[in-house]
Amino acid sequence: MPDAASLPPEGTPILKAFGVSKRFGGLTALDDVAISIDAGQIYGLIGPNGAGKTTFFNVITGLYTPDGGVFLLNGQAYSPSTVHRVAEAGIARTFQNIRLFAEMTALENVMVGRHVRTHGLHAGVIGAVLRTAAFKASEAAIKDHAMQLLQYVGIDRYAQSLARTLSYGDQRRLEIARALATEPVLLALDEPAAGMNATEKNGLRDLLRKIQADGKTILLIEHDVKLVMGLCDRVTVLDYGKVIAQGLPAAVQSDPAVVEAYLGTQAHA
């Protein structure tokens, strides 16, 4: 779980990006996108299908190379060039389509995430081959921390179950636990409520609020407008790769451009 002593004070910008652009051939997927997320916020990124939300996620997490833009993570210049470097820099993400190691246990999945914060590969390989005392102690600590994270997200009873046997909602929780295992400064969640029933969504809302209360910062893509508006501190709306609104949820929800582009009658539901 988050270490409060190492977390930045609330109000400190965690992620700042501006001038972000991305093109695919003749299609402009992102056009001069800017976003600023403060420490301790749950920040929502919404928009209609094809608005550029997932493209933006893929840019800041190293899956896509941006064509332009400046990025600051925790006050430091940051180049989202590869997924591995992004994880080391402090951004952990989940995906709209669940990407777990299906034939590994829930515990093993979280341990994989934890290894991002362990010692270098060379030392790890030598230790694993020789089964040194230091290696055994490190593995025990990783396993213990992974169990704590499973308990934190409420699925520790499934620690020894294969990931593929977990319910859909619990697989989502497992992805979040694995992401938290990397000790991120920013937790980026791509449609975590997709496919969930009402009960599972309520449980997810409670979990995200707990993670926020423990000092973590969350960037959230989500199609469930009610969930976003009730959970997020600030919201950015994209449409055709451009920012059309930013601000407090209530103001964004009533913005005429947002109503026309995305929310429609949902804004008044």
> What are the pLDDT digits (tens) for 24-58?
998 999 999 999 999 999 999 999 888 999 999 99
Q: Which residues of the chain have pLDDT under 70?
A: 1-11, 115-135, 262-269
Residue for token digits 């893929």? 58
Q: What is the pTM of this model?
A: 0.85
Q: Which residues of 103-138 are buried (b: 16+ CB within 10 A; e: fewer)?
A: eebbbbbbbbbbbeebeeeeeeeebeeeeeeebeeb
**Domain end (from 138, 155, 183):** 183
In this structure, are 138 and 202 located in the same domain?
Answer: no
Q: How far is CA 35 from CA 132, 183, 201, 227, in A?
A: 46, 22, 26, 20
Of all helices (H) and strands (E), which one includes residue 88?
Answer: helix 83-89
Name residue 9's beta-bridge partners: none
Question: pLDDT above 70 covers what percent of the chain?
Answer: 84
In this structure, are 203 and 82 located in the same domain?
Answer: yes
Domain range enclosing 195: 1-90+184-269
**Domain end (from 134, 155, 183):** 183
In this structure, are 52 and 28 located in the same domain?
Answer: yes
Q: Domain count of the chain?
A: 2
**Domain end (from 161, 183, 205):** 183
Q: What is the CATH number of the domain that holds 220?
A: 3.40.50.300
pLDDT given at position 140? 82
